[in-house]
Amino acid sequence: MKRVVCFGEIMGRLNPEGYLRIGQANKFELSFAGGEANAAVSLANYGLDAVFVTKLPDNELGKAVIKTLRGYNVNISEIVFGGERLGLYFVEKGASQRPSKVIYDRKYSSISTAKKEEFDWNRIFNGTNWFHFTGITPALSDDAASICNDACKVAKKKGVTVSCDLNYRKNLWSSEKAQKIMGELMQYVDVCIANEEDAEKVFGIKADSTNVSIGKLSHKGYISVAKQLVDRFGFKKVAITLRGSISASDNNWAGMLYANGETWFSKNYLIHIVDRVGGGDSFGGALTYALILEYEPQRAIEFAVAASCLKQTIEFDFNQVTVAEIEKLVSGDVSGRVQR
């Protein structure tokens, strides 16, 4: 069985029922999520040995996270315990012309206060095929960035493929600091996953003839972004998600894979959004699955986009679909008819 290690933060997600605004809510639904945890759940769901590495508080919330991850068959054997708290974030779901809103409450979370000596990457990476992290994790603290750097170095020494979803978060750090820290980490990365904002905010690389606020996307502009990323950092592959936002409720969704000077675009899906948070993570998880199983490029990008399309029709961050369901959508069955 292929083994993938994902390193990052998992948080409690709190959101009002339905489409209530935070100011209207008198109770919140609790789930758990985080960029790398979301990817790990997808990978475990597809049948891989998905190892999630993090630090959790040794309290009832930390135990609830463990119980949840075990329920999704995620390998939790490398999770360490300590620190003060589990990070939280609040999600207000948007609709029509009102955008969704996310509020973070994650300062001093256990993983942000973790230390290098708590993670034995030489042992963790034994028998590992792939290592995945996102740009969120090194943004949590200088120590978290240092731990990411150590993990990447050991992964490369052991011949482990490394992927990174840039995932720029302006509430965690500035573009200037992101460019410095992420620039140092990119030398170890084989597969870079991004969207138009990530590439621009982290590395100043902008897609020409594109305006995401009005849903205008240029394939030529994104090919240029991918080529510039490869030229600067030497990535083997670059994957970019292409979201055309019609409104908070309806999006066009597609993706692009660039490798060895060639480009593959997926088909486009018009999605009526149920919950878009975690959509990019489900793309990263599905792409990792497809590449680790050596799908040819067109099939790989179609699989990743279809998986993330389906995720955005599911409540909360974790993707709940099977490989068979993804392949059915890839094959062209977009009817959504009741399955009996």
* Residue 278: partners with Cβ closer than 8 Å, 6 or more residues away: 33, 38, 311, 316, 317, 318, 319
Closest CA to 247 of 97, 100, 102: 97
- Classify domain 3-330 at the CATH topology level: UDP-N-acetylmuramoyl-L-alanine:D-glutamate ligase (3.40.1190)
- Widest CA span in the chain: 53
Q: How many CB atoms lie within 10 A of CB 123?
A: 9
* Residue 288: partners with Cβ closer than 8 Å, 6 or more residues away: 4, 39, 43, 130, 132, 163, 191
Tokens at residue 221, please? 């502009």
Structural element, H or E, at residue 225: helix 219-233
Helices 323-330 and 297-311 cross at an angle (nearest 10°) of 110
What string of pLDDT tens digits covers the 340 residues of the chain?
899 999 999 999 999 999 999 999 999 999 999 999 999 999 999 999 999 999 999 999 999 999 999 999 999 999 999 999 999 999 999 999 999 999 999 999 999 999 999 999 999 999 999 999 999 999 999 999 999 999 999 999 999 999 999 999 988 899 999 999 999 999 999 999 998 788 899 999 987 765 555 555 788 889 999 999 999 999 999 999 999 999 999 999 999 999 999 999 999 999 999 999 999 999 999 999 999 999 999 999 999 999 999 999 999 999 999 999 999 999 998 877 767 6
* Residue 118: partners with Cβ closer than 8 Å, 6 or more residues away: 55, 80, 82
**From CA 191, how far away is CA 1, in angstroms rounded?**
21
- Report the DSSP pairing between strands 269-272 and 250-259: antiparallel
